[in-house]
Structure 1
């Protein structure tokens, strides 16, 4: 049997599915281009059905889209994570960017007050800020420390004039870039996991804050702590090379234009294509007292109290 004879049945089946898929999409009002059709054909039948259901719902409810978030679309078979995964494909089939017209979810930033003078009052230590709501902080921070991990926020040591905010990983930029008291602080400090994701989050966060916000917030500088080669060397024994499922962590470096040279050296160390002794040092493994000392060193007048609001 020749190679052509061997693959012909498989090719025939694939071509047949492409034709059926194209016909189905056209019936649901999709704009079908060859390149888009090839992408749709990579989906399983269940996702194709959801695509068609989404196209039908959008056609029947053109005025409802602006009042819903991407998790609220009442499309049969669509789970809350479906649109983030397939939004680009739906855009190309529908001919317009569905996600851009959805209502943006309110950002909720969880924070901890660590100013010792304030804490001595016995008032609440933990708080939350929701965008668009009427809210008043206990005091105006001179320093805002953004951390990636909840444990680090909840247990951070006392530090004058400081509020510690939970950045929630990759959501940090979306959550905090437009918060007015973040941009108005004298200094903004970021501390994330010492891994590829941590540096990429830092890069996006710093880039976002380097320009004024849409709401008129001023541009500001972001400084990092414990995200350098010295930290890798000092705490390398706490690092890992495998993820929680036991798979080797393999990440290739990308061009992060907002990193400093010191940060970039550490980033390359954990994303090298060769063997690496450390691929990830999670921030909660590091001593909080060391982090507090580094933030205090950045503060011009660490002995001064905060301005209670």
Structure 2
């Protein structure tokens, strides 16, 4: 990630983040901090920890709204609920690795989701709805993003941040 004032990792109140004089080409919003901190530096890319259901803060940032944004969350009901929430601010944000094929490719890494949400998520794409339906049909399973092999995740992330 590009260093801001020499810092590659920072936390600040939303009001201060909103005033940053940056204009990234791509913003990656990740549900889990561990995955975000493992990212390599990519020119023109800023990664933001979505902080779970607090993803609204990221969605409101003006420099996020002006960039091409990609969301990567856990492949579970709450990951989809967070994506649904982010789409209030960024209606066209695509998800990454939150599809049925990714779920099926990593069946051996599933765990049971202890408290799945049953909220109506009407901002999901047909593909995301299919993945959510599959999660539920398989017994409310989940595939946490940090369980996906890093080589698979990194390849998908590199494709997502590639210049268009």
Larger radius of gyration: 1
Once the two structures are TM-superposed, the CA of residue 295 in structure 1 deviates from its matched residue by 3.1
Residue 136 of structure 1 corresponds to 20
CA distance in 2, matches of 1:224, 1:242: 20
Residue 197 of structure 1 corresponds to 78
Q: Could you say what the CA RMSD is over the residues aligned between the two structures, in angstroms?
A: 2.6
> How many residues align structurally?
163
Comparing 191-200 and 278-287, the one that deviates more: 278-287
2:34 is paired with a residue of what secondary structure?
helix
**Do the aligned residues in 1 keep the contact of 2:113 with 2:140 (CA within 8 Å)?**
no
**Do the aligned residues in 1 keep the contact of 2:74 with 2:144 (CA within 8 Å)?**
yes
Please, which of 134, 140, 155 is the counterpart of residue 269 of structure 1? Answer: 134
**Do the aligned residues in 1 keep the contact of 2:31 with 2:72 (CA within 8 Å)?**
yes
Matched, 1:183 2:65: yes
Matched, 1:258 2:141: no
Deviations 1:76-114 (A, max 9, x none): xxxxxxxxxxxxxxxxxxxxxxxxxxxxxxxxxxxxxx2
Residue 108 of structure 2 corresponds to 237
**Do the aligned residues in 2 keep the contact of 1:228 with 1:263 (CA within 8 Å)?**
yes
Deviations 1:239-262 (A, max 9, x none): 10254xxxxx5x464432111111
Please, which of 142, 164, 171 is the counterpart of residue 47 of structure 2? Answer: 164
CA distance in 1, matches of 2:30, 2:10: 15
Structure 2 segments unaligned to the other structure (5+ residues)? none
Please, which of 10, 30, 33 is the counterpart of residue 150 of structure 1? Answer: 33
1:165 is paired with a residue of what secondary structure?
strand
TM value normalised by structure 2: 0.85
TM value normalised by structure 1: 0.48
Higher relative contact order (CA 8 A, sep 6+): 2
Structure 1 segments unaligned to the other structure (5+ residues)? 1-113, 211-220, 244-248, 303-309
